[in-house]
Amino acid sequence: AQKITQTQPGMFVQEKEAVTLDCTYDTSDPSYGLFWYKQPSSGEMIFLIYQGSYDQQNATEGRYSLNFQKARKSANLVISASQLGDSAMYFCAMREASNSGGSNYKLTFGKGTLLTVNP
C-alpha cells in the first residue's frame, strides 16, 4: 500500500481563488510529521509547511494552510488567493519517527499534483 497518496495528478485554479490539494497517508507510527513541498518548473524543492502528528492546531504559513484530519489520515494543503507563481508541482511527504529505529529522517513522498493557475 502506498504510504502517501495524492489523488489529483493535475489541478486548475483561477488566479485569486483558493485551491485545496489532497493528501492522504498511511502509517501505524504514532509519531510522524507531514510536509508539503513545491517544485516549480526550474526543478528545485521548496519547503512550504509542516504538521506534526501531535500538533493540536492546523499549521499555517502565510497563504498556505494545512487541513489536518488525523482520524481520516489526511493532510490537505490549502492555498488561498492563488497567484500565477503558484503554478508548480506540489508534493506531500511524511517522516515517520520509527524509521530505522529513529535514525533515518527519510521523507516518503507522494507522486505529486501539478497545479496550474490561470489568469
Partner 1 sequence: EAQVTQNPRYLITVTGKKLTVTCSQNMNHEYMSWYRQDPGLGLRQIYYSMNVEVTDKGDVPEGYKVSRKEKRNFPLILESPSPNQTSLYFCASSPQGVSGQPQHFGDGTRLSIL
Q: Applying CB under 8 A, which residues contact partner 1? A: 4, 31, 33, 35, 37, 42-45, 47, 50, 52, 91, 93, 95, 97, 100, 103-107, 109-112
Q: How far is the CB of 25 from partner 1 (least distance, A)?
A: 13
As to burial, measured by CB atoms within 10 angstroms (0-12 exposed, 13-18 middle, 19+ buried), residue 71 is exposed
Q: How far is the CB of 51 from partner 1 (least distance, A)?
A: 9
Residue closer to partner 1, measured from CB, 12 or 54: 54
Q: How far is the CB of 106 from partner 1 (least distance, A)?
A: 5
Residue closer to partner 1, measured from CB, 34 or 79: 34
Residue closer to partner 1, measured from CB, 14 or 98: 98
Q: How far is the CB of 38 from partner 1 (least distance, A)?
A: 11
Residue closer to partner 1, measured from CB, 100 or 119: 100
Sequence-ordered list of residues with C-beta below 8 angstroms from that of 70, at least 6 positions apart, any chain: 53
Burial pattern 74-93, b for ≥16 Cβ within 10 A else e, equals: bbbbbbeebeeebbbbbbbb
First to last CA, the chain: 38
Helix (H, G, I), strand (E, B) or coil at 99: helix
